Amino acid sequence: MAPPRGQPQSATVRFAHESEEEFARILDFYGVIWEYEPRTFPLEEKDGRLALAFTPDFYLPDLDLYVELTTLKQKLVTEKHRKVRLLQERYPDVQIKLLNRSDYLSLLAKYGFGPFSELEVAGIHEVLISAAELERRVKELGAEISRDYKDREPLLIGVLRGAACFMSDLMRHISLPLTTDYMAISSYDGEQGEVQIVKDLEEPLAGRDVIIVADIVDTGMTLSWLLETLRLRNPASLKVCALLDKPARRLPKVPIDYCGFVVPDKFVVGYGLDFRQKFRNLPFIAALKHGPPR
């Protein structure tokens, strides 16, 4: 049974796929009432027995509309089209809409349950990592760190500003006593010049189990400098947890002990990452249509 209006339904339903959960959250965000797989339609019988049936993903009672998502395997799409056609033949009064991957992604980019101006939508090329995928993976990383640092008290160092979202989500999935601190550094600009510390740590590192929490390792120059700099402060151990790894552009070899996702050679934004200070508040990771010139 659907919970009362105003309460997110998506928290109470078990979905078969993440894309379904995400779609449900968009509906929740817009206050659209929905039911998940409420009805199975018999489509074909053979020898008096049911041979084919179809259970659309969602039903939106206010619109009297069934919605089927086809965001998954492209080869299943043809079969879905056939089922939808059969359903329409057999139940002409039933309204159903197939939502394909590009419909769905533009919907996500447009309504991605975050504040999003039309201008920003136009700049987004595609959603690479959805909010649900981020949530699941950050949870896993937290569990892994909790296991590895059992009986210890790690010091998490968030690298500003890109790691802000990742850091605040990650720490809540680490079930250990811990300390946090933040550091801001000027990005490595590819010139001879050193990376500058814009804001230094307040915590001493000597004898502590330190984990650097970073947004993305791209060329690896920043991280390489950071590791060298922090090692001089004599921590008991020094590890790296990076949300994203973009190995295509790597220069120095740098260790990434905990890695969220490997991303292709595209300029990515969202979930803390920016392009000219914009897009940090997107709840997902997206690729820009026109990345910065390189």
Which tokens go with 149? 């640092």
Which tokens go with 78? 């043809």
| Binding partner of 267, given Mg ion, ligand IMP, none, CB within 5-8 angstroms per partner class | ligand IMP
- Tell me the pairing of strands 96-100 and 268-269: unpaired
Asked if 67 contacts 57 with a C-beta cutoff of 8 angstroms, the reply is yes
Site for Mg ion in 224-283 (CB under 5 A): 274
If the CB atoms of residues 188 and 284 are measured against ligand IMP, the closer one turns out to be 188
209 catalytic, yes or no?
no
Please state, in angstroms and rounded to a whole number, the distance separating the CA atoms of residues 201 and 49. 71
Least CB distance to Mg ion at residue 274 (A): 5
If the CB atoms of residues 209 and 215 are measured against ligand IMP, the closer one turns out to be 215
If the CB atoms of residues 214 and 238 are measured against Mg ion, the closer one turns out to be 214
Phi-psi region of 279 (alpha: psi -120 to 50; beta: other; left: phi over 0): left
Question: What is the rounded (10 degree) CA torsion for 238, 241, 246, 252?
Answer: 0
Site for ligand IMP in 243-282 (CB under 6 A): 267-269, 273
| Binding partner of 222, given Mg ion, ligand IMP, none, CB within 5-8 angstroms per partner class | ligand IMP
| Binding partner of 221, given ligand IMP, Mg ion, none, CB within 5-8 angstroms per partner class | ligand IMP
DSSP string, 96-157: EEEEEHHHHHHHHHHHSSS---HHHHHHEEEEEE-HHHHHHHHHHHHHHHHHHTTTS--EEE
| Binding partner of 216, given ligand IMP, Mg ion, none, CB within 5-8 angstroms per partner class | ligand IMP
Least CB distance to ligand IMP at residue 149 (A): 23
Site for ligand IMP in 161-190 (CB under 6 A): 162, 187-188
If the CB atoms of residues 179 and 187 are measured against ligand IMP, the closer one turns out to be 187
Contacts with 184 (C-beta within 8 Å, 6 or more apart), sequence order: 159, 160, 161, 197, 198, 199
135 near Mg ion (CB under 5 A): no
- Tell me the pairing of strands 58-60 and 35-36: antiparallel
Give me the 112-151 binding string for ligand IMP, x by CB under 6 A, dash otherwise: ----------------------------------------
35 near Mg ion (CB under 5 A): no
How many residues belong to the site for ligand IMP (CB under 6 A)? 17
222 near ligand IMP (CB under 6 A): yes
Which amino acid appears at position 154 of this protein?
Answer: P
| Binding partner of 241, given ligand IMP, Mg ion, none, CB within 5-8 angstroms per partner class | none
Which tokens go with 19? 């894309």
Active-site residue, selected from the candidate residues 169, 209, 218, 245: 218
If the CB atoms of residues 37 and 274 are measured against Mg ion, the closer one turns out to be 274
Strand stretches in 20-64, DSSP E: 35-36, 41-46, 49-54, 58-60
Site for ligand IMP in 200-219 (CB under 6 A): 214-219
Phi-psi region of 161 (alpha: psi -120 to 50; beta: other; left: phi over 0): alpha
Residues that bind Mg ion (CB under 5 A): 274
Active site positions, annotated: 218
Residues that bind ligand IMP (CB under 6 A): 162, 187-188, 214-223, 267-269, 273
